[in-house]
Amino acid sequence: MDENLQHRLRARTVKYLQLFALFIAMAIICIPGLWVVLNSFRPTVEIMAKPPVWIPQNLSLDHYRAMFGGVGEGGVPVMRYFTNSLIISVTSTIIAILVGMAGGYAFARYRFRGKAAIFIGLMLTRAVPGVSLSLPLFIVMAKTGLIDTHIGLILVYVALNVPFTIWLIDGFFRQIPAELAEAAEIDGCTRWQAFWKVEFPVARAGVASAGIFAFLTSWNEYALASQLTRSTFSKTMPVGLRDFTSEFTINWGGMCALAVLMIIPALILTFLVQKHLIAGLTFGGVKG
């Protein structure tokens, strides 16, 4: 009995230690984000205070009002930047998902010459850091007249996201038995109907996972967007953060306010598709 009691106490202690370690890790991860949110409501004097003011004394919406043209300041064209980011991110994500579904399905279901070499080539293109492509992309876009346009940035993000979506969706379709589609075709479905009514619903979680990752990549990307955009007509929200910098000063409160606005759509989207996202990430992890 004493041994059982000691075993339960030891197991409970280990559990509490694990929970405490998890709490510390999550606190370390979340503190920067919480600090950004707090700074978006605090005056500049409090943000720049040394030593840091950990407990805010004065909270206000001045930075948000200034960003939208209030408090006697010119403001930042936030809605224009938000519209640009939304158009570019959503369009590039949809195209990347469509191409990724076609490519991933082809790699998972069909055999053709050079299949392995093509797949490895796609993965190698994804391994190249995006910032290293900034100069060649700038030259190509300048020669084709796509600098400072939505189309130019959309094409760049599609090229960046397609290898990843193909790789991810290919893995999900490989988990689906080919016999399901064959059985549907025997029952009278065409090849397209078998895919759309049988295979796609099973792989939908994986497609949602690829979509959310592709969207967040496009939404948060800064390095290439800063090189390929010039005016408010095409600047995205990450590039718009530079509007809060000048030769001698940086408006940290305004930058934090815009960063909060950038985070909100990503959080909403993640919340809406979290069920599919979790299912997609764990799909195939447990075999029946």
Q: Which domain holds residue 246?
A: 78-282
Residue 90: pLDDT band (50, 70, 90) is very high
Nearest CA to 159 out of 118, 122, 210 is that of 122
248 with 164, same domain: the answer is yes
56 with 115, same domain: the answer is no
206 with 111, same domain: the answer is yes
What local confidence, expressed as pLDDT, does residue 74 receive? Answer: 52
Q: pLDDT tens digits for 243-256?
A: 888 767 788 888 88
Q: What percent of the chain has pLDDT over 90?
A: 13
49 with 141, same domain: the answer is no
23 with 53, same domain: the answer is yes
Identity of residue 261: L
Nearest CA to 215 out of 81, 93, 97, 88 is that of 93
Which of 15, 42, 67 is at the close of a domain?
67
How many residues appear in the chain?
288
What local confidence, expressed as pLDDT, does residue 154 receive? Answer: 94
- Answer yes or no: are the C-beta atoms of 153 and 236 closer than 8 Å: yes
Of 87-91, 117-121, 249-253, least confident by mean pLDDT is 249-253
Residue 287: pLDDT band (50, 70, 90) is very low
Tracing tokens 């707090």 back to the chain, one arrives at: 38
Would 176 be classed as within a structural domain? yes
30 with 85, same domain: the answer is no
Query: How far is residue 40's CA from residue 45's CA, in Å, rounded to a whole number?
Result: 12
Q: What percent of the chain has pLDDT over 70?
A: 91
What local confidence, expressed as pLDDT, does residue 281 receive? Answer: 53
Of 9-13, 171-175, 245-249, least confident by mean pLDDT is 245-249
Would 156 be classed as within a structural domain? yes
Where is mean pLDDT largest: 194-198, 200-204, 213-217?
Answer: 213-217
Which of 29, 48, 67 is at the close of a domain?
67
153 with 274, same domain: the answer is yes
Q: Give the tokens for residue 200.
A: 């796609």
Query: How far is residue 207's CA from residue 166's CA, in Å, rounded to a whole number?
Result: 10
**Cα 218 vs. chain centroid, distance in angstroms?**
7
User: Which CATH number characterizes residue 108's domain?
Assistant: 1.10.3720.10
Would 121 be classed as within a structural domain? yes
pTM, two decimal places? 0.80
Would 247 be classed as within a structural domain? yes
- Helix-, strand-, coil-residue percentages of the chain, each rounded to 5: 75, 0, 25
190 with 121, same domain: the answer is yes
The arithmetic mean of pLDDT across residues 173-201, rounded, is 81
Would 238 be classed as within a structural domain? yes
SS (H, E, C) 236-270: CHHHHHHHHECCCCECHHHHHHHHHHHHHHHHHHH
What local confidence, expressed as pLDDT, does residue 110 receive? Answer: 83
Would 12 be classed as within a structural domain? yes
Q: How many domains does the chain have?
A: 2
124 with 45, same domain: the answer is no
Q: pLDDT tens digits for 43-72?
A: 888 888 888 777 777 888 888 888 776 544
The DSSP code sequence of 111-148 is: --TTHHHHHHHHHHHHHS-GGGGHHHHHHHHHHHT-TT
Which of 43, 67, 91 is at the close of a domain?
67
Would 87 be classed as within a structural domain? yes
Phi, psi at residue 59, to the nearest 5°? Answer: -110, 135
Residue 288: pLDDT band (50, 70, 90) is very low
Would 288 be classed as within a structural domain? no
Q: Give the tokens for residue 80.
A: 């224009």
158 with 46, same domain: the answer is no
54 with 87, same domain: the answer is no
264 with 127, same domain: the answer is yes
**Cα 185 vs. chain centroid, distance in angstroms?**
37
